[in-house]
Chains A and B, each alone.
Chain A
Amino acid sequence: MANVGRFFVRLRHNRVGLLGFVLATLVLGAALLGPWLTQVDPLRQNVLARFQGPSLGHLLGTDNFGRDTLARILYGYRTSIAVSFGAVALSTLLGSTIGLLAAYLGGWIDRLLMRLMDVLLAFPIILLAIAVLAVLGPGGTNTALAIGVVYTPIFARLARGPALTVLSWDYVAAARAVGASGGRIVLRHVLPNILAPILVQTTLSLSTAILVEASLSFLGLGTQPPTPSLGLMLSQSRDYMLISPWVSIFSGLAILLASLGFNLFGDGMRDLLDPTLRGRDV
C-alpha cells in the first residue's frame, strides 16, 4: 500500500500521467455511475425531440429517435469499459500465466507455448478479432473474448522474458534450496518482480482495446442494438449526420477521450515505474 501511495505522490509531478489518470477516472466513473448520473433512459424514444443540438434539456442533444445523447454515451461507456476491461483482464491473466509457465517449465513446453503465441501475433489485430467473431458470432461478450485472445500473446511475451531473468537470480535458487514449491516460487518470488511492466501494458492495452471495441461495433460485429455502444452510435449517426451532426461528433469524441485517458495514464505509469523505458515507444 505504501508503494501505491508513493506512486500517486510521484504522479502529481508527471503532468501528462496525471491528466491521463484524471481522464481515465472520469471515464471509469461515468461507466460505473452512469445510471445514477442521469435519470434519462438511454432507450426512451421521443419523436417530438428528434435531431436536437445541445441544450439545457439535452446537454449533448438527441438522435434520430429523440433519444438523449448524453445518457446514451454514459451507458455506452458502461458497455465499452465492460468489454475492454473483460478483454484485458482475460489477456493479462491468460498471457501472464502462459509466459510464467513457459519460463518456469522451459524445454519443449516453453517452445510449444511461445510458438503458439508467435502464430497468434502473426495476425493483424483487427483481422484476428474479426475471425474470432466470425466463429463465435457478434455480441459484447464475444467481442471481449476476441480482443482477449488477440492481446494474450503480448502479455505472454512480456511475462516470459523478465521471468527468465528473475528465475536465474540467487534468491530464487535460495528459495528452491529451502524447499519452496514451484507455485510458491513463481507467485511469491517471480511475479512481484515482473509486475510493473505488466501493469503498464495492462493500462496501455485498455486504451487500444477501447478503440478496437469501438471499431468492431462500428463494423456491426461488436455490441448489438439496442444496447448503447459508442461505435454503434457513431455508425448509425452517419445516416442523418447532415440533418444533425451532434451524435457523430460527441460519440467519436467520447471514444477518443476514453482511449486517450488510459493511454496517457499508462505512459505516465511507465515513466514512474520503469525509468529505463522512459520516452520509448512500444
Chain B
Amino acid sequence: MIGYVARRLVDLVFVLLGVSVLVFLMVRFIPGDAVEIMLGANTDITPDRVAALRHGLGLDLPIHVQYWNWLTGVLHGDLGTSIWTGRPVADEILARAPATLEITLLALALALVLALPLGVVSARARGSAGDLVVRLLSIVGLTLPTFWVGVLMLLVFSLYLPGWPAIGYVPFATQPLGNLARMALPVVAVSLPMIAGLTRILRSSLLEVLGSDYVRTARSKGLAERPVLYKHALRNALIPVVTVIGVQLGYLLSGVVVIEQVFAIPGIGRLIIGAINQRNYPLIQGIVLVITAVFVVVNLLVDLAYAWIDPRVEYE
C-alpha cells in the first residue's frame, strides 16, 4: 500500500507539472499579440503601455525563464495579478471559492443521500413498477441539461413562490437561512445527473453482488434478509460507487460552472466567464490551474480511499 501511495504521488507530481506547462503555454497559443489583445478594450494603447505590460508580465524574457519564474511564483502562492482589477489572482479566486465549494459539496452530499436508498430499493424490488420508474429516471437524469432544469426551477418559483430568494448568494456565516434558501435550487439542479449516475451504478453492482456465492451462503445459513443486505452485500456493492465518484465530480463541477450563470451566484464559474469576456488571461490561467490541481488531488484521494476500502485492488 505504501509503495502504491508513493507511486501515485510521483504520478501526481508529473501530471501537475504537465498541467502547469499547458496552462503556462495557454497565452502563447493565442493567435496574435496577447499583450495587445489583453489591452484590447482600452482606447489609449501606446507602444509604451504595451511594452510596460509586456515587461510587467515578464513576456520579454526567454520562455524557459518565464516558465521558471511563473512556476516558482505559483508554488509560493503568487498566481499573478488580475489585469483589470490589479488585485492578486489568488485573492480573486479565494473570494469566489466559497460559493462554488458550497454548491459542489452540498450537491455531492445530496446525491449520496438520495442515490444510496434509491439504488438499494431499485435493486431489491427488481422488475417492479418502482424499479422501472427509478431506472427510467436514472437514464433521463444522466443526460439532463442541468442549466435547463435550473431555468425551469426559476420559472416555476417566480410564478408560484415569488417570495423565495432564488437568485444570488449570501454567506452562510452572516445569513444561514438566506444562504440555504438560495443554495437549494442550484444544488438540486446540479445534483440530478449525479444522483442518476450513482443510483444506476449502485443498482447494477448490488444486483451482481446479490447473485454471488457468498450471499447465497449467508442466506442458506439462515441469516435474515436485512443483515445479508446491509452487512454483506451493500458493503461490497458500494465499491464501484466510490470509484466513479471522482469521475462524477468532474461532471458535477462542470454543472456548477454553468449553474452559477443561471442563478447569478458569484462563484468561480462566473469569475472565469467574466475573465474570458475581459480577456483577463492571468486570471483565466490562475482559475484553470487551481481548479485542476484541486480536482487532481481529490481524484487521487478517491482512488486511495478505494484502495483502502477494497484490499483486493492490485497495486500494479
A residues near B (Cβ < 8 Å) are 16, 115-116, 118-119, 122-128, 130-131, 133-137, 207, 211-212, 214-215, 218-221, 234, 237-238, 241-242, 245, 248-249, 251-253, 255-256, 259-260, 263-264, 267, 279-281
Contact = CB atoms under 8 A, between A and B. Distances in A.
A252 B149 CA distance: 8
Interface of B is mostly: helix
B5 interface: no
Given A127-B288, A219-B258, A234 B253 contact: no
B309 interface: no
Contact of A125 (B140, B207, B254): B254
A281 B200 contact: yes
Contacts of B261: 218-219
B151 interface: yes
A104 B262 CA distance: 47
Given A115-B18, A280-B204, A124 B143 contact: no
A215 B147 contact: yes
Contacts of A280: 204
A219 B254 CA distance: 12
B284 A134 contact: yes
- Which of B201, B250, B276, B288 counts the most chain A CB atoms within 10 A? B276
Contact of B139 (A16, A115, A128): A16
What 3 pairs between A and B have smallest CB-CB spacing? Answer: A252-B148, A119-B18, A126-B254
The range of chain B's interface size is: 35 or more
Interface of B: 11, 14-16, 18-19, 22-23, 26-27, 29-31, 139-140, 142-145, 147-149, 151-152, 154-155, 158-159, 197, 200-201, 204, 207-208, 244, 250-251, 253-254, 257-258, 261-262, 272-273, 275-277, 281, 284, 287-288, 291-292, 295-296
A118 B15 contact: yes
A279 B251 contact: no
B276 A130 contact: yes
A240 to B, nearest CB: 11
